[in-house]
A and B are shown apart, each in its own frame.
Chain A
Amino acid sequence: MATPPLPPRHLVSPAAVWMAVAVAVCVLAVLPVLGVALIATGSSDGLWSHLVANVLPRATVDTLILMAGVGLLVTVVGTGCAWLVTACDFPGRRVLEWALLLPLAVPTYIVAFCYADVLHPLGAGPTALRALLGITNPRDLPLPDVRSMGGAIFVIGIVLYPYVYVPARALFAMQAANVLEASRTLGASRWRTFRSVALPLAWPAIAAGTSLALMETLNDIGASSFLGIQTLTVSIYTTWLNRSSLVGASQIAMLLLALVLLLVLVERGARRGRRFAATARQMRPLHPRPLSGTAGRITALLVSLPVVLGFVVPVAHLANEAAARVRFAGLSPVLFGEMVNTVILALIATPITVLFGLVVAYAVRRSRRAAAVAVVRVAGLGYAVPGTVLAIGLVTALATADAWIGAVARWATGVPTGLFLTASGAALIYAYVVRFLAIAANGVEAGLANIPTALDDAASVLKADRLRTMVRIHVPILWPALAAAGLLVFVDVMKELPATLLLRPVGFETLATHVFAEASRGTYEDGAVAALLIVLAGLGPVVLLSRLGRPRHAGRPPGPEADVLRV
């Protein structure tokens, strides 16, 4: 009997090639962070004794309180709403199901500006309240100030909860159906079913979403500094600007990164040992329990609250301000060009980011070694570094590259070339990719985790090579996850401010830089039109995103596409 032919041998294994490509992507992603680290090795002139005595303890405590508050808020709101729209049927559920995503379209700093206006004693809220109570003098009705820790937690949390809502809903909707029904059949209460079965099942997705929201909280500068919260990120800027120490600032940024690594470890721990992919195909969609009468109305009210607070209130305020502004000062003709610039940047940066995310996440699937997982984590670091600090690291790296290119070009052509990469559109795109790679990689990775590895093995038995397996099997199944990641990246690029501001070419403006210019003139109300345009431009992608996650018709076995919607 003839022995079966041996599989073809490669000099270099395909897994190693994948790994090499992934490492190359990570090196690119990490270069700006390394730039920051390099700056951090400089001398900080004895700054640290002051920082340790007077700045860092307070900043660390405030940062941790802010993160704990935001973490709790996004987890409770995101998970709670996801559960209610999946497990219950109540008036308005179909609309709320996608409307809950809308806050994603509004930048955090703009929501902070809006609430500072709306909740000011002279703002719409307290004015209406005083009219209701028959009070004329604002001093007779002191209300809590949004410029406080509580206010910051509220503002940031109410915008970021969709990061948890999206993956949690996908999990609840698709994965757990028959497990949940089994739990009910076995006599467990609804609450116990949620607590002991549904929640643990969705936990990895919730943890991933929460960690993204927390990273965004960590690198926020606009909202926290406007509301007067002294976070570590705010102290990075203070150290850089007022103490004129970019070195000291970079050192605090490194400290911040340590905090992020800790966060990532915790999140990893929360996800560990939970793989449910193999059973996913045997699931049926959950049949929601109808809630009628008072119970239905209360649930509807409860679930619409995050939409109202995170989207309707700020956007209504913006629309109102924008209308007043247009009547008063007319529509600025430059806005159209800025909108085009903004969308073009997002259109270029998004596919690159998603492709890189795919490469990185795929490397992890291939190798499943600790080293590979570490690579993914490292690639995502850019997300946690404050944008301006990252941009400084990037400028340093690009300027060096420009000097080399310039030298080569002069040698080859005899003509000085000027700046090639620094302050070019390419630098901006690069910054976006570095900054949002974590979103793409996380999304794709979570999606891949839900494709049974048995599929790979089957493909392998059928002698499909690795690339073919990916292109023919994984990518089609992954398509919704890729699209979801892409839409999130797209919206994030449009909202991005600090890196855009620092790296854009001379004479190139986007909607975000327009808003910032007006805000720094002290007339952030003037930026209302541009801010509203950012929101409007983000609505399309957000609505698309919500359609991706919508459960298919009952009776059709759900494909894995629904549960890969994790961010």
Chain B
Amino acid sequence: MNAEKPELKKLFALSSEGRKYSFTLPLKNVIRIGKRDYNIELREDEKYGIHVLWKNRRYPVEIVRTKQNRYEILFNDISHIFTVETPFAMQRKKVLGSGKGRSERLVVKAPMPGKIIDVLVRENSQVLRGEALVILEAMKMQNEIQSIVNGTISRIGVKPGQNVMKDDILAEITVK
């Protein structure tokens, strides 16, 4: 018995800031941003690597890291993070997202004893997943303690120069 494969031709690129771009496979040379269509061409050759051609100018693209449908790219030297989603996945996000609507608080704790070298964020500042919050020196090494969520810093528990024990609270983040 063979079920139909779910459609994979129409896809969305969802940026980490929540913007949505639709495209189709195989790729066409037109992409729609907002309500306007742009004629662009994606090329790859030995001399320039991967680049986007728009109005006869080349814009370099570098794929920094990929993990399944998550792409971290450098476009014109600016870093962007995208996930590629199917229509069903988008619908699913809605279904799962609507049930929650939660605003949770995440406590960031020291993973090991050490000394705070620097605090890189301020209270009320916005942070993205993967952004460094504090530098903790432990095992004679400077460790970046990163946020694992997108959100807003609601409290900072440490000052530069302070010694911390394992599980001391470094910061609190209100999850977006």
Answer yes or no: are A and B bound together in one complex: no
Residues of A at the B interface (CB closer than 8 Å) are: none
